[in-house]
Structure 1
């Protein structure tokens, strides 16, 4: 069986021959061709779902809605691969079912839910209406092509096939999509958004799906007499791709031409490295400098042969340029060399890129991209020496922007699909294709990339704030739980009380206290009332009948019971779940001496959450690695490593008191790690944690190169 690399065959468990083995080859071809298009449509759907949900979160009027859409974004990112896998499994299973003889009676397509549990009737109705409308639009638009495909499939199979049994029909495609989404923990609004996206990015291209399937069948002689239905290519994916092409803004900026003095200072340091770019000719041949314009033409020639990022061979610019000079020298019979100033620029750019490509701040995948910028950066430096002296130079700023955005990337095997990687690759390719001698293109690309970067940063900042808010809420809840535990322990430890009362206070009333603390604070009337009710309950079950207080208990019972019920209602407790306790409590009050409930002495303190001991407790206050942790600032980028392999690049988003938990987020603003002070200190000691320098890359590279050149000039 032919397997497409992007789809997953299923149903391998049967011992009998696979139904696919009984399918004609042309149906396998139809399936594989359709699977490729559907896979592309799903990928496009998920690529755009993130943007759509982000916009919904950005426009949300309430914190609850804001949280719902952000959580949906996170859920989709985590479950995307499984979603696509299940969809393709369902598609393959449907095709496999075509090979079964005696398929039985037609089963109508069920309106399944995203959830494992049934949704409310209102939600189900809303979803059913949306589905029916989607199916109606596809049938109205592509009904003829679909009916022709169904007829041709029936002819191949030798059995009459209903449209609803067609694996490529909109009904089954919707069912595959809904079944694949069952694991998503999202609410009805998000489900409806996903259905709309499915229609936009998958069902909208159904005409192409049916046209290509029909063409494959016609090519093998299946019902060729049916009139071909033309595909609508004015819309669909092609139109969407055209609409994404960004218009190039006019952002030409004048370059500063007063960089000669600073470059002259650099030239004095570059003397020890001169002589590396020269042709290998007879010593007697008198050198003849090549003009700067001719050098630019040679560089433009080399620029067209810069290898792709995945090329295995390294591109040595100096070596390649030397070979070109040698060929020119042999052809002219003269020893052609680069002028001294131009050679200094070549050497300086080479040293800068040597630093950049060894800098841990830049992820390896992006280093391969940035390395391709060496010739364009060299050409602009030859044209304009202010590149080395002015931080605002467009080419310099573009390189810095690219490096800054790439710094936080954790790229996996499918990194070529990462939107940031694709955008940087686009910038690099445009420079290689379009930059000849007009440096204005750097200002243009800088404006475009800066706008892209600003949008990405705004998105990540919103998500990061959402993460901080969630963490602060979690910490507040943990603190409140701990205070509730302390309150209960003070009242219960060492006392002999009915077991039912102890369990009620620890399991139910603790939640009433927790809610009062979180919503109203511990100075509130609600908190004090909950404490008073708890104290009265403990007092009531400890009285003896023959005491004056015991005899007056019945007068207080109605008020106590009402306070207990009101408190449980405020915490949304189901009254049926506490009915048994109130029955037993009544028995305790009516016959306190009869031992109607087991008595226990409370010896074990109640603990809601127990934090593990922090390794920092074993470190001296002046431990250098502990001091490094305390010097970490919010916003700092770090890199965690294990066995010398980078495992995570992330940013410190918050330091949560009182436990001093350090919360780290990814480039998108989602939480990825939480570490204690001690864990971070040990990571520093083991060399597994490195703080990344987020200062501008070009400036750091230039400082490092100048320092290195000074050492060479002083013989160190």
Structure 2
């Protein structure tokens, strides 16, 4: 088997993974979570590899190098899917081998040699040095978190697992990457570029990878006494999520089963207990049904969840009451749910009431989300950690769906890929979910990958939108500045009409190009202004005066400067031929008299294009709505009421100088809106603009329900 770059290949015996049942469930959760993040990192790597190689090709000094980088781009595009597939297969095989006994002589770690040995090429040594540098940086930065992860996996497996045997360790991840890249027919320079990109887009997030894996293991009680290593990215994300949740969720204790957290919630839910009961005579003898019977009833109801287009809302508690009533009539006893199960039913119902009333969820998707109520209720009945564990797959799936649809607007096609994919997820859960939570892992992994693809396409268009907006706004600013310069020199002047037209139509473009390319502090800008000033003077001075004689001596230089400036702005010399003929006539004939060119007085200000902003009412600097507009952050989603029936959902992608223009894009990345801070403030004042809360939907719902329950309990 080919040995690529001193990497010991994974044993062929590993190609057939051991039964996954040998691994603890939490290890599979660690694997799936890591696979999701690594897949996203690889996708980001390949998205940026194309741009990087194109830039290298553009900068290449020889035709050979240019060809090498373009061939590498083509090779990567053709083999990208296979590359990602092989990498993930290697990862899953490495996890499967954790469950194998008697591994003894299996070598999972890339063995990197740094000494020149017989038969070792310079390319191999160069790659080995690059690998060692990468591994050293990861070990130095994230070694402690990796060590804790290895210790926890060792505890679960009942044997020592070294960092270099850890499937998520940098050594093995690099090995997977090199193994997947063996099919790429690229030279060493390209391979080194790919290694750098792997470090930038995959290994740089190792702290998040290890932090989340350690969190999952701690949540199940694996070596909780090891002091957590703070993760830079995880800490930032946790702070954001905590902020969006308004902090009440932090009061819920975190335990393996979620029972402690649920017990804390039950104290609040007492206020709404008694709302799920059969409608029978008071004399009927109450008989609680156990959790298994409740799950069977819910599975029955799950088959009759109405379509999202149904006009009537699906009231879960009402349908459950009707079902309990029918069961009670048949048995002659009042069949009721136990307090704990009723608390779960009420809590889930309250959560969905909040989510379906939330303004950040587009109306088109509320029907689909409502259909998830029974599957989520069954999950909660079986696993109370749904309410306390942010990484619970069912909870994350709901959050991922809500995050993906926040930019959906009425103008979108209701049958596009996003809607269809979410509809498929919902329908599969309704059809297949009974009690095994594995389906939520599968749905989460698949939908997250789909959403990541959607985001990448959107981000690519968004980047083009920003670039186009930046160029256009810079052009408008340059035109506005040039118009100011021309007006200062021309207003009130009496000049030949053809000269005024030349300055307004031709030389203005020379000035615009000059300021865009070189700026207003450049020598080129000063030279272009000086040429314009000399032209104006040349048609206004008498030949007999001393200044006139001096200027006539400078005419050859002036004409050359005019022609050079026009050529630099890509003007066709034939289109300006008449101007130079008429200018020559003015210079050689008396200023006044028969045959003189028509004179005009410039009294109207010159404009060279649309202004940068539409005038709005002047607002004081401390105006509350103006401050609100100025505090909008890049990436925030807003809803803009365009008319009585149309609401545009868009994301702030950039605030562009020089006029601080706010540029918004649709969920596909295309430009949707462009406003000044003052215009946004006016929209806030009249209620046409509102900020959408892009925090995690389930978490916000739980925080709001807890706050409402506290208020309800205080009032009793």
TM-score interval for Structure 1 and Structure 2 normalised by the shorter chain:
0.5 to 0.7
Which of residues 438, 451, 474 in structure 1 aligns to 2:436?
438
Query: CA offsets per residue over residues 47-93 of structure 1, 9 Å max, x none?
Result: xxxxxxx9999799479x9xxxxxxxxxxxxxxxxxxxxxxxxxxxx
In the alignment, what sits opposite 1:342? 341
Instruction: Tell me: CA distance 1:714–1:644, structure 2 relative to 1, closer, same or farther (3 Å).
Output: farther
Alpha-carbon distance in 1 for matches of 2:271, 2:338: 16
2:573 matches 1:575: yes
State the match for 2:490 in structure 1.
492
Q: 1:505 pairs with 483, 503, 507, which one?
A: 503
Find the aligned partners of 1:612 and 1:674 in 2 and give their Cα distance.
Answer: 10
Paired position in structure 1 for 2:459 = 461
The whole-number CA distance in structure 2 between the counterparts of 1:465 and 1:584 is 47
Partner of 2:191: none
The answer to whether residue 691 in structure 2 is matched with residue 711 in structure 1 is: no
Deviates more, 1:335-344 or 1:649-658: 649-658
Match of 1:641 in 2: 641
Listed one character per residue, the Cα deviations across residues 242-285 of structure 1 (whole Å, up to 9, x for unaligned) are: xxxxxxxxx9x998542111101111111121112111223222
CA displacement at 1:641 relative to structure 2 = 2.2
Report deviation, 1:620: 3.2
Cα pair distance change 1:390/1:646, threshold 3 Å? farther
1:592-611 alignment, distance < 5 Å? 592-595=590-593, 596-608=596-608, 609-610=610-611
CA distance in 2 between partners of 1:58 and 1:301 (Å) = 53
Aligned to 1:269: 268
CA–CA distance in structure 1, aligned partners of residues 335 and 527 of structure 2? 94
Task: Indicate if the aligned counterparts of 2:409 and 2:648 stay in contact, CA closer than 8 A.
Answer: yes
Query: In 1, Cα distance between the equivalents of 2:678 and 2:317?
Result: 48
d(CA) in 2 for partners of 1:497, 1:561: 18
Spell out, residue by residue over 1:368-402, the C-alpha distance to the aligned partner (whole angstroms, 9 max, x if none): 00000000000000000011111111111111110
Relative to structure 1, the CA distance from residue 563 to residue 412 in structure 2 (aligned partners, 3 Å threshold; closer, same or farther) is closer
Partner-residue secondary structure (3-state), 1:674:
strand
What CA distance in whole angstroms lies between the structure 2 residues aligned with 1:343 and 1:532? 84
3-state SS in 1 of match to 2:357 = coil
Structure 2 match to 1:321? 320
Contact persistence 2:629–2:680 (CA under 8 A): yes
Report the Cα distance in structure 2 between the residues aligned to 1:414 and 1:550, rounded to whole angstroms: 70
Native 8 Å contact 2:538 2:552 kept in 1? no
Once the two structures are TM-superposed, the CA of residue 613 in structure 1 deviates from its matched residue by: 5.5
Q: How does 1:579-590 map to 2 (within 5 A)?
A: 579-590=577-588
Aligned to 1:676: 676
1:293 aligns with 2:269: no
2 CA distance for matches of 1:469 and 1:611? 17
Structure 1 residues 413, 568: CA separation in 2 closer, same or farther (over 3 Å shift)? Answer: closer
State the secondary structure of the residue aligned to 1:262: helix
List per-residue Cα deviations over 1:291-339 (Å, max 9, x = no partner): 1111111111111111111122322211211122122222222221111
CA contact 1:637–1:650 (8 Å) conserved in 2: yes
Q: Counterparts of 1:56-205 in structure 2 under 5 Å? A: 61=54
Higher normalized contact order (CA 8 Å, seq sep 6+, divided by chain length): 2
Q: Kindly indicate whether residue 368 of structure 2 is the aligned counterpart of residue 372 of structure 1.
A: no
Partner of 1:282: 281
Verify the 8 A CA contact 2:288 2:337 in the aligned structure 1: yes
Deviations 1:93-134 (A, max 9, x none): xxxxxxxxxxxxxxxxxxxxxxxxxxxxxxxxxxxxxxxxxx
User: CA deviation digits over 1:187-227, x for unaligned, max 9?
Assistant: xxxxxxxxxxxxxxxxxxxxxxxxxxxxxxxxxxxxxxxxx
CA contact (8 A) 1:541 1:592 kept: no
2:422 pairs with 1:424: yes
Determine the C-alpha separation between the residues in 2 that align with 1:543 and 1:310.
Answer: 81
Displacement of 1:568? 1.2
| Residue 382 (structure 2) pairs with residue 383 (structure 1) | yes
TM-superposed deviation, 1:482 = 2.0
Aligned length: 475
Moved more, 326-335 or 501-510: 326-335
Q: 1:668 to 1:62 in 2, by over 3 A?
A: farther
Task: Provide the rounded CA distance (Å) in 2 between the counterparts of 1:280 and 1:539.
Answer: 99
Partner residue, 2:98? none
- For the 8 Å contact 2:368–2:423, the answer to whether it is kept is yes
* Aligned twin of 2:692: 692
Match of 2:531 in 1: 533
Runs (4 or more) in structure 1 with deviation over 6 Å come to 54-60
Cα offset, 1:642, TM superposition: 5.3
Match of 2:622 in 1: 622
- In terms of mean alpha carbon deviation, does 584-593 or 599-608 score higher? 599-608
Residue by residue over 1:483-521, the C-alpha shift from the partner in whole angstroms, topping out at 9 and shown as x without a partner, is 212222232233322221111111111111111111122
> Structure 2: how far apart are the matches of 1:643 and 1:532?
51
Contact kept? 2:635, 2:653, Cα under 8 Å: yes
Please give the alpha-carbon distance, in whole angstroms, between the structure 1 residues aligned to 2:611 and 2:644. 33
What corresponds to 2:240 in structure 1? none
Q: Are the structure 2 counterparts of residues 317 and 623 from structure 1 closer, same or farther at C-alpha, using a change threshold of 3 Å?
A: same
Instruction: Provide Cα deviations, 1:657-698, integer angstroms capped at 9, x if missing partner.
Output: 332322111011111111222222222122121111111111
Query: Any conservation in 1 of the 2:473–2:612 contact (CA below 8 Å)?
Result: no
Q: Could you tell me how far apart the structure 1 residues matched to 2:642 and 2:514 are? A: 44
Q: Describe the shift of the 1:693–1:413 C-alpha distance in structure 2 as closer, same or farther (beyond 3 A).
A: closer
- Residue number in structure 1 paired with 2:22: none
Q: Which residue does 2:406 correspond to in 1?
A: 407
Contact 1:614 1:677 (C-alpha < 8 Å) held by counterparts: no
Structure 2 residue aligned with 1:564: 562
Q: 1:452 aligns with which of 447, 450, 453?
A: 450
Matched residue of 2:554: which SS? helix
Please, which of 529, 543, 546 is the counterpart of residue 544 of structure 2? 546
Q: Could you list the runs of 5+ residues in structure 2 that have no partner in the other structure?
A: 1-46, 59-212, 221-255
1:702 aligns with 2:715: no
Q: Distance in 1 between matches of 2:267 and 2:644?
A: 39
Structure 1, residues 601-625: CA drift from partner, whole Å, max 9, x if none? 33333233445664351x3333322
The answer (yes or no) to whether the contact 2:476–2:611 under 8 Å persists in 1 is no
Take 2:412 and 2:679, find their aligned partners in 1: how far apart are those partners?
A: 29
Query: SS state of the match for residue 357, structure 1?
Result: helix
- Asked if the contact 2:652/2:664 (under 8 Å) is kept, the reply is yes
Change in Cα spacing, 1:334 to 1:616, as seen in structure 2 (3 Å) is: same
Find the aligned partners of 1:532 and 1:272 in 2 and give their Cα distance: 82
Question: What's the CA shift for 1:524?
Answer: 2.9
Cα pair distance change 1:574/1:60, threshold 3 Å: farther
Give yes or no for contact 1:513–1:527 (8 Å, CA) kept in 2.
Answer: yes
- The answer to whether the 8 Å contact 1:543/1:592 transfers is no
Change in Cα spacing, 1:323 to 1:316, as seen in structure 2 (3 Å) is same
Equivalent-residue separation in structure 1 for 2:490 and 2:624 (angstroms): 45
1:553 Cα shift? 4.6
